[in-house]
Each structure stands twice: as structure tokens, then as C-alpha cells.
Amino acid sequence: MHIRRLTPQDASVCHALRLAGLLEEPTAFGSSHEEEVAFAPDVVAQRLAEHADQGVFGAFERTRLIGIVALRRESMAKLRHKGLIFGMYVAPDARGAGVGRALLSQALALARSVPGLLQVNLSVNASNAAAIALYESLGFERFGREAGALKIGEVLHDELHMVWRTGESRQGA
């Protein structure tokens, strides 16, 4: 397995894996398959354009994309000290092999390299024990629970909100 930042040239494989995740794990995402299936290739490619303070990382097994995660920095002046992890997904046949940990480690390494980025937030379905354990093992801490954060059909799902602080913010705390 190798991890690298995805580029606009990866748009089709990234979109295919994202759509698979939206179908297979609808409670793990705020978006739905129905919303994203019609995205034009240039929309997906634009999301993969490289920026110094954000990126989408992909895990590959040979040439097959088996996992993705994204890091985005907040854009508003009062929020720019924060980043957001989102879109985390690992193909079912690749789980349990450290793919998620490797992806998150790369995203957090990027976060550490961004001047002024002090923390990274994420939200996770409160019933996803495996994901929560992974995030906590990498230093994420719970700071809240949102009841009914997602509504899929007629079922409400709670989310946990978690934060990871960069070394810079830990020193200043």
C-alpha cells in the first residue's frame, strides 16, 4: 500500500470510490449518493486541485484506490486556525490493514505543516465504534455529541464531534 495526495487526474477513480462509500455507508457521510452521482468530472477534479493547506489523500494497493480522506482548512479569518477532516472511507476488503491510520497520518502531517493551523475537527457517527477508536488512538478527543445530526429516511443518527490539536496549539494551551 502507498499513500499520496490525489490530483485532478485521479478524479474518476476518486469519484467512483466516494460513490461506493456513499452507497455502502450512508450514515458515515453528510452527502448522499443521489446528490453526488451526477457531479461532473471537472467538479471532482477541481476538488482535487493542490493547495498548500488542504488536500485529498488516497491509499493505493498497486494501482487500485482503496481509501480516501480529505483535509480542508477553514477559509474565514476567525476560523483559519481550524481544519476539518472529512470524506474518510476505506473499501471493505481493505479494512483492518492500517489503511485508515495511514491516510489520517498523512492528513495530520499536512495539518502540522500549515502555519497557524492549530486544530483539526471531525464528526463521526456515534455508533461507529471502529472509527471512533481509530480517531482516539491518533489523539482526537471528543468535545460534543449532536443528537439527530443526520436524518436518513426516517431514522436520526447522532454524531460525535472530535478535535485534534497540533503541537503548536498544545504548547500554547
CATH code of 123's domain: 3.40.630.30
What pLDDT, on the 0 to 100 scale, is given for residue 168? 59
Tell me the three cell numbers of residue 25. Answer: 455507508
Beta strands, E only, the chain: 2-5, 55-61, 64-73, 82-90, 119-125, 141-152, 155-165
* Residue 101 DSSP SS3: helix
Across 89-126, b (16+ Cβ under 10 Å) vs e yields bbbeebeeeebbebbbebbbebbeebeebbbbbbbbbb
Answer for the pair 83, 121: CB distance below 8 angstroms, yes or no.
yes
Looking at the structure of the chain, the number of domains it has is 1
How much of the chain, in percent, has pLDDT values that exceed 90?
92
pTM of the model: 0.92
State mean pLDDT over 44-59.
Answer: 94
What pLDDT, on the 0 to 100 scale, is given for residue 167? 74
Give the Å distances, CA to CA, from 149 to 27, 121, 156, 157.
10, 16, 7, 6
What DSSP designation does 95 have? T
- Give the domain extent around 46: 2-172
Is 50 exceeded by the pLDDT of residue 171? Answer: no
Count of all residues that appear for the chain in the document? 173
Helices (H), 76-166: 99-113, 129-137
State mean pLDDT over 49-56.
Answer: 92
Is 70 exceeded by the pLDDT of residue 99? Answer: yes
Read off the pLDDT of residues 111-121 as tens digits, 9 standing for 90 and up. 999 999 999 99
State mean pLDDT over 25-47.
Answer: 93
